[in-house]
Chains A and B, each alone.
Chain A
Amino acid sequence: DAGVIQSPRHEVTEMGQEVTLRCKLISGHNSLFWYRQTMMRGLELLIYFNNNVPIDDSGMPEDRFSAKMPNASFSTLKIQPSEPRDSAVYFCATQFRDTNTGELFFGEGSRLTVL
């Protein structure tokens, strides 16, 4: 959906390097979710922001992961240092204010490969 723009689409890095994934939201949202998708664990919620405030970060794997939402339309997910087990597709998603069913709209995902 054009309302959620993620970058980069693909990232290949070496173990130990810092990785920053970005998510830009077009207007009309009130929340932001970061999900991770792997073959072994499926889709997992990492962190949820509402009105730019982190509400639940219990899904963040460990201290190497951090997320910020400095304004209403932008968020970053950072991994430092990265490890091969972090290889996954990372999705950003939002819930638009004018939907009464509450479905999430996802970005196209960022595929991360850590060598």
Chain B
Amino acid sequence: AQKITQTQPGMFVQEKEAVTLDCTYDTSDPSYGLFWYKQPSSGEMIFLIYQGSYDQQNATEGRYSLNFQKARKSANLVISASQLGDSAMYFCAMREDSSYKLIFGSGTRLLVRP
């Protein structure tokens, strides 16, 4: 069964510095996708970045990059040059390509300090 683990309930980072949010997953399906979402205090879920299990390169979207280590089953989110507006909950999620279910981790609350 697929499973997503986020071990950091909360993180602090200084403005303008980089931060890494951890995510590990478990699946027996060889083909799957990994997703990160941001949930600010206003509550909406905002899609940030996607990594496919067969992608050779780590995904990047602006200041977001995904450090994908397939053998370790980890998909950490790296936010570079943190901004105050990055303060939010961040969720890692996974979907096996054989399924429609997007399964979420428990989330990490990031606080960016000025």
Contact = CB atoms under 8 A, between A and B. Distances in A.
Nearest to B103: A45
11 contacts: A31-B100, A43-B104, A45-B103, A48-B100, A48-B101, A89-B43, A101-B50, A102-B50, A102-B95, A108-B44, A111-B43
Contact size class for A? 20 to 34
Contact of A105 (B33, B47, B100): B47
Interface in B1-57: 33, 35, 42-45, 47, 50, 52
A14 interface: no
Main secondary structure of the interface of A (DSSP, over half): strand
Contact of B45 (A31, A55, A91): A91
A50 interface: yes
B91 interface: yes
A103 B104 contact: no
Interface of B: 33, 35, 42-45, 47, 50, 52, 91, 95, 100-107
Among B43, B103, B106, which residue has the most Cβ atoms of chain A within 10 A?
Answer: B43
A55 B43 contact: no
B102 A104 contact: yes
Contacts, number: 42
Contacts of A91: 45
Interface of A: 31, 33, 42-43, 45, 48, 50, 55-56, 89, 91, 93, 101-109, 111
Given A102-B33, A103-B50, A108-B43, A45 B102 contact: yes
B93 to A, nearest CB: 8
Given A101-B50, A102-B95, A103-B50, A42 B101 contact: no
A42 B104 contact: yes
Given A45-B102, A101-B52, A102-B33, A109 B47 contact: no
Contact of A103 (B47, B101, B107): B47
B36 to A, nearest CB: 10
Contacts of A108: 42-44
Contacts of A89: 43
